[in-house]
Amino acid sequence: MRVQRHCVINADRDTVWKAVSDPDCYPEFMASLERWEPAADGPAGKGARYTVHWKIGSVPIGGVVEVSEFDQAHDLAWIGVSGVSLRGRFRIRDAGNGHTKVIFRLAYESAGNLLGIIADRVAARQVGRNMTETLKNLKTMVEP
């Protein structure tokens, strides 16, 4: 299941990147975040691991994720190492006039065959709402 949301922020790419690339900012702008903690010591960047849980439905869903791309002011992507199979990405693009377009993508797949597919579809609405809320929070956080 792939869910995508985007928004345009009235700030330059570097300012947006500063927030998106800083692990300490995630509890502030990521909606429905139930758990966020580094899974290993080390600087933010490719290979860094975090334990992430979002409250989806009745319980926290997530697991350990690893940053798979850390492209300065451009792309930040991660993959799920444990828990639900998961890929996520922030795409940061110049929108002109000092604005930045941020695309937030999440692709996930539960185990469990048919029930897994149904669960993915049922969860998609709430996941989408959380992503919209996340971008709204990010916008509020970085806009002057």
Interacting residues with other proteins (CB under 8 A):
34-35, 53, 57-64, 82-83, 110-113, 115-116, 118-120, 122-123
- Report which residue type is found at 143: E
In the bound complex, what is the minimum distance in angstroms from residue 28's beta carbon to other proteins?
18
Query: Is 82 or 137 the residue whose CB approaches other proteins more closely?
Result: 82
In the bound complex, what is the minimum distance in angstroms from residue 129's beta carbon to other proteins?
14
**Which pairs from 92-97 meet CB under 8 Å and 24+ separation?**
92/13, 92/16, 92/17, 92/20, 93/13, 94/13, 95/8
Coil/strand/helix, residue 34: strand
The residues, ordered by sequence, that sit 6+ positions from 134 with a Cβ below 8 Å of its Cβ are 5, 29, 30, 31, 104
Query: Is 53 or 136 the residue whose CB approaches other proteins more closely?
Result: 53
Query: Is 22 or 117 the residue whose CB approaches other proteins more closely?
Result: 117
- Report which residue type is found at 46: K
Neighbours of 73 (CB within 10 A): 18
In the bound complex, what is the minimum distance in angstroms from residue 79's beta carbon to other proteins?
16
In the bound complex, what is the minimum distance in angstroms from residue 102's beta carbon to other proteins?
28
Query: Is 55 or 74 the residue whose CB approaches other proteins more closely?
Result: 55
